Amino acid sequence: MSATQAALTELLPLAGDTFDKNKVTPGILGFIVFAALALAVWGLMKSMSRHMGKVDFQEAPEAGAAAAAPAADRAP
């Protein structure tokens, strides 16, 4: 048995008795991870908004509408 396994087998029973399962919270590490994810999503949304603003999309007229428009101009 290695030293690491021996230490784990000695500490494992202590871990089961020391915390209350109803009072476990994510702590500061959970907050830091959540804040980092929130900042990443905010940055991605801002970048996407900037890139979508650069798009100059002109929709091509449909083939059926283009053919009907000159016919309607000639009728009256």
Read off the tokens for 25. Answer: 């919270």
How far, in Å, CA of 32 to CA of 30, rounded? 5
DSSP conformation class of 23? S
Report how far apart, in Å, the C-alpha atoms of 21 and of each of 16, 49, 70 are.
10, 43, 76
Q: What is the mean pLDDT of residues 3-23?
A: 65
pLDDT in tens, 14-37: 555 666 777 778 889 999 999 999
Cα distance between residue 8 and residue 51, in whole Å: 52
Q: Is the pTM of this model over 0.75?
A: no
